[in-house]
Structure 1
Amino acid sequence: MVIRENFENNLKELKRKINEMGELSIDALEKAFNALKMRDVEIALKVIEEDNDIDNLEQEINQFAVWLMAKEQPVARDLRIVVVVLKISNNIERIADFAVNIAKSTIKIGQANSLLDLTDLEKMKDISILMLKKSLKSFLEEDIALAKEVGDLEDEVDELNIETYKKLTGYLSEHPEETNQLVQLLFVNRYLERVADHIQISPRAQPI
């Protein structure tokens, strides 16, 4: 019983770290998009700098998970949970990388008059963050109904991605002088679509 209790406590700590990593990635996405919206290079640079904290936490989670598997030799169901944690931490780290990419696009756009209002990028960002929150809660609370909601929201992001691509490429054909910013916004559109993809394939794809 003591051994089982120790394992459960370690598993709770592992889940706590995953939740912390998810919250840091949400914060990175919010900051990166705010930097894009306000054309604030200083905030963009901070997002890039703070990505090291997320990378370090991923490494910590991975080491903890491997140690837990080696030390406790968990049974099949418990082993599956630990393996899912490893997959989720990798996906969350990739999401944080996309936040960094958005920050880099902000730096490349610079102080040009913003064309963000032409797009649905902010809505895509909001939905993606909602997806990540629901996805983490789904995993931590073993809530399959929430997992389905994540999948439905991902479809919305896909539709907005297509619409934004059409709007930006159409505007680009008429305003070639805005090529730099429009290309960067197309990249941001792609980054947010990939964020949603990585959320959709983490906890939802691995129900406990």
Structure 2
Amino acid sequence: MTTRRFFNEELQQLKLEVEGLAEDTKNVLSTSVDALYNSDLKTAQRIIDEDHVYNEKEQHINDSALIMIAKQQPVASDLRRLIAAIKISSDLERMADHGKNIAKATLFLGDDHPISVHPTIRKMMENAVSMVDIATKGYHNEDISFAKLLAEKDDKVDELYGQVTKDLLELTANNPDQIQYIMQTAYTARYIERFADHLTNIGESILYLVKGVSYDLNE
């Protein structure tokens, strides 16, 4: 096997690992939000216990990319592919952390809390999950059109977050005795909003990968 062919296979394997981590983060978010609505403390605890898995996957991706840079000394598009893998895996690991934080909020609320979880939180989650699919396709195909879609979807998540925040502030004013519970759902909405923000970062990494120039999708 030629050195170039071996390097290409390593690049492809690295891409598959990044895409696998993206799928993991999507599952963490959807599962944590389901656990929140269902007061499923067992599932919430499992999400927290499994967080180290995603940290280890990110570290493996980073180590693999750095070894490839050191051994192969790639330039141009190949170097950008390796840098993008490192940057994207970092965002994905942080996204998994936000899912873990939602699970922690679920444990705090317990299985007998006095409030209903705001229905728009699920809508936020569904939009964020769709963003993961968009980001994965953009990364896999090295297609910047998907990156631009992420900015549009992020605006929608921000809009929903604004609605949730407004409603929860009003609920807090009328139910001061329940503020600690209401704030946990507010935190959850914030975690999803941050999850989506990381996906715009991934969109920027895709743009860098393809164009070789840094962009700010939040402008």
Query: Shorter-chain TM-score category?
Result: over 0.9
The structural deviation recorded for 1:119 is: 4.3
Does the CA-based 8 Å contact 1:95-1:198 persist in structure 2? Answer: yes
Q: Does 1:57 align with 2:57?
A: yes
* Residue 112 (structure 1) aligns with: 113
* Residue 27 (structure 2) aligns with: 27
Does the CA-based 8 Å contact 2:131-2:153 persist in structure 1? Answer: yes
- CA distance, structure 2, for counterparts of residue 163 and residue 9 of structure 1: 46
What is the alpha-carbon root mean square deviation over aligned residues? 1.3
* Residue 37 (structure 1) aligns with: 37
Alignment of 1:7-18 (within 5 A): 7-18=7-18
Does the CA-based 8 Å contact 2:115-2:182 persist in structure 1? Answer: no
- The secondary structure found in structure 2 opposite 1:29 is helix
The structural deviation recorded for 1:114 is: 4.1
* Residue 181 (structure 2) aligns with: 181
Alignment of 1:128-143 (within 5 A): 128-143=128-143
Q: Deviation string for 1:32-78 (max 9, x for gaps)? A: 11110100110000000111111111111011000010111111211
- CA distance, structure 2, for counterparts of residue 42 and residue 115 of structure 1: 19
Does the CA-based 8 Å contact 1:37-1:114 persist in structure 2? Answer: no
Does the CA-based 8 Å contact 1:35-1:41 persist in structure 2? Answer: yes
Cα distance change, pair 48–180 in 1 and its aligned pair in 2 (3 A): same
What's the TM-score once normalised by structure 2's chain length?
Answer: 0.91
The structural deviation recorded for 1:203 is: 3.4
* Residue 79 (structure 2) aligns with: 79
Q: Name the amino acid aligned to 1:188.
A: T
Q: Name the amino acid aligned to 2:146.
A: L
Q: Name the amino acid aligned to 2:116.
A: L
* Residue 66 (structure 2) aligns with: 66
List structure 1 runs of 4+ shifted beyond 3 angstroms: 203-206
- Structure 2: segments with no counterpart, 5+ residues: 211-219
Does the CA-based 8 Å contact 1:134-1:150 persist in structure 2? Answer: yes
Does the CA-based 8 Å contact 2:143-2:206 persist in structure 1? Answer: no
Q: Name the amino acid aligned to 1:75.
A: V
* Residue 213 (structure 2) aligns with: none
Does the CA-based 8 Å contact 1:44-1:107 persist in structure 2? Answer: yes
- CA distance, structure 2, for counterparts of residue 39 and residue 173 of structure 1: 24
What's the TM-score once normalised by structure 1's chain length?
Answer: 0.96
* Residue 170 (structure 1) aligns with: 170
Does the CA-based 8 Å contact 2:142-2:206 persist in structure 1? Answer: no
- Structure 1: segments with no counterpart, 5+ residues: none
Q: Name the amino acid aligned to 1:171.
A: L
* Residue 193 (structure 1) aligns with: 193
* Residue 150 (structure 1) aligns with: 150
The structural deviation recorded for 1:27 is: 1.1
The structural deviation recorded for 1:205 is: 4.1
